[in-house]
Amino acid sequence: MDRLSAARGLALAMAAILAACVAAATLRSAAWPVNLLWTALMLLPLVAPLPGLWRGRRRTYAWATLCVAPYVIYGITEVIANPAVRGTAGIILFASLGWFIALVLYLRLSRPTAGDPQATGD
């Protein structure tokens, strides 16, 4: 397995860990009918880039770094304000940081070379 495939696998694995942590935290945070809607809304920024991440599209990896921000904000807010999910929120913070690092790692490894005629393409 080359380094690029390993970075792509790491990014997808970190997205799965983050999704599991967010689902666990949001399903415990509200009553039954509301928590399903809240969980679906919280997972939207994570699910949106998945097709492009799976295909290894460099442009998707670039804009997926912006999808990390809601999870960092949610994690910080829950760590400070909600003692019931403080542990899960800490894991969300570390998982979102890990996902961001994995996305940037893929972008660094797939960076086109200066003399490449297809340097602007995906």
pLDDT of 93: 94
Block residue for tokens 């097709």:
51
What does the pLDDT average to over 110-115?
A: 78
For 49, other C-beta atoms within 10 Å of its C-beta total 22
CB 62 within 8 A of CB 122: no
Greatest C-alpha distance within the chain: 57
What does the pLDDT average to over 25-49?
A: 82
Using 50, 70 and 90 to split pLDDT, how confident is the model at 52?
very high
What does the pLDDT average to over 65-87?
A: 90
- The more confidently predicted of residues 34 and 119 is 34
CB 91 within 8 A of CB 74: no
What pTM does this model have? 0.84
Using 50, 70 and 90 to split pLDDT, how confident is the model at 116?
low
Q: Is 121's pLDDT higher than 60?
A: no
pLDDT of 122: 53
CB 64 within 8 A of CB 103: yes
What does the pLDDT average to over 7-28?
A: 88
| DSSP helix/strand/coil, 89 | helix
Give the separation between CA 62 and CA 82, rounded to whole angstroms: 32
Domain extent listing, the chain: 3-109
